[in-house]
């Protein structure tokens, strides 16, 4: 009922460039996980705080009215049942997508060139980065863009489910959007203006990765037995979470071999270049992380 067939969790479109995942697939996965934990007698009431990570560069477009739905979830029903009509875009662009080349060129021109964009956002323009995906949607499906009241990353989308309201994008995952000024730690007005109208309102203000967003939604209190005092901490991207989880410090280098291969390290000062990426550090507010990323073809 909820899921369309995917190949490896994604839909590869006819152009072989557009790659998306059904948003409800992710919601249904959370339903299944929590139900299994409940059946296994997991003690949700002892959870003091929760956080998580999501695949970087994926985006979720919430439909107008979704905030009210999130705030009034019925604990007698699954999330996937109640959120079926909450997304203006049913299939979310993900990190494998490379269909926004024109938007990348437009953004770099508006910013004053690829190197200048890298100096502002930590990366030259990349097709998978969220800002360019937003620009593409606004240009080719303006009707869907007009129906959107909030844009989340996969990480802040997952946090929103637990929060029962729209969760802020954290600085570290937000660094992978070609929209965040990584030194000011705020949205770049140049990049916002070149991407889509009223984008600052659709994104909300970004926050530090360790921010406490608020208490867990009453939905999870009544359905699964979470404590009302349980707090939701900002979620981040999978690569920043890897740096945090491996407890890297300055001078450390880590290599991750998976669906894409990455090399990442801790930096005190950003040194943007045309290749690779600089993100805000998820652990130390004034530090950064460098990332080299290789996509498997």
Q: Which domains does the chain have, with CATH numbers?
A: 11-236 (3.30.420.40)
Separation CA 256–CA 178 (nearest Å):
23
Separation CA 76–CA 175 (nearest Å):
38
Inform me whether the pLDDT recorded for 170 exceeds 90.
Answer: yes
pLDDT digits (tens, 9 = 90+) for 119-163: 999 999 999 999 999 999 999 999 999 999 999 999 999 999 999
Matching residue, tokens 């802040």: 156
pLDDT at 258: 76
Interacting residues of 8 by C-beta distance below 8 A, sequence separation 6+ = none
Interacting residues of 51 by C-beta distance below 8 A, sequence separation 6+ = 159, 232, 233, 234, 235, 236
pLDDT band at 8 (very low <50, low <70, confident <90, very high): confident
Q: Is 146 helix (H, G, I), strand (E, B) or coil?
A: helix
pLDDT band at 281 (very low <50, low <70, confident <90, very high): very high
Inform me whether the pLDDT recorded for 4 exceeds 80.
Answer: no
Write down the pTM of the prediction. 0.95
Which of 296, 94, 263 is CA-nearest to residue 176? 94
């Amino acid at each position: 009922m909820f899921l369309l067939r995917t190949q490896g969790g994604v839909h590869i479109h006819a152009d072989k460039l557009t790659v998306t995942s059904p948003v409800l697939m992710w919601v249904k996965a959370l339903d299944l996980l929590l139900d299994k934990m409940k059946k296994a007698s997991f003690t949700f009431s002892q959870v003091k705080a929760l956080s998580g990570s999501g695949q970087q560069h994926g985006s979720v477009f919430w439909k107008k009215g979704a905030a009210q739905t999130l705030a009034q979830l019925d604990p007698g029903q699954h999330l996937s049942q109640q959120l079926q009509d909450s997304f203006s875009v049913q299939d979310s662009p993900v990190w494998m997508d490379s269909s926004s080349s024109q938007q990348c060129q437009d953004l770099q021109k508006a910013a004053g060139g690829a190197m200048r964009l890298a100096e502002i956002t930590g990366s030259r323009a990349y097709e998978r980065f969220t800002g360019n995906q937003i620009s593409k949607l606004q240009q080719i499906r303006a009707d869907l863009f007009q129906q959107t009241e909030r844009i989340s990353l996969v990480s802040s989308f997952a946090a929103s489910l637990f929060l029962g309201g729209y969760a802020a994008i954290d600085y570290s995952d937000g660094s992978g959007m070609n929209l965040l000024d990584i030194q000011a730690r705020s949205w770049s007005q140049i990049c916002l203006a070149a991407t889509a109208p009223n984008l600052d309102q659709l994104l909300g203000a970004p926050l530090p990765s360790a921010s406490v967003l608020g208490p867990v939604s009453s939905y999870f209190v009544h359905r699964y037995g979470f404590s009302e005092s349980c707090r939701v901490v900002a979620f981040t991207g999978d690569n920043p979470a890897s740096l945090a989880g491996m407890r890297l410090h300055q001078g450390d280098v880590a290599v991750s071999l998976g669906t894409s291969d990455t090399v990442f390290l801790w930096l005190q000062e950003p040194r943007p270049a045309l290749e690779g990426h600089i993100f805000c550090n998820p652990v130390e507010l004034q530090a950064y992380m460098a990332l080299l990323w290789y996509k498997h073809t």
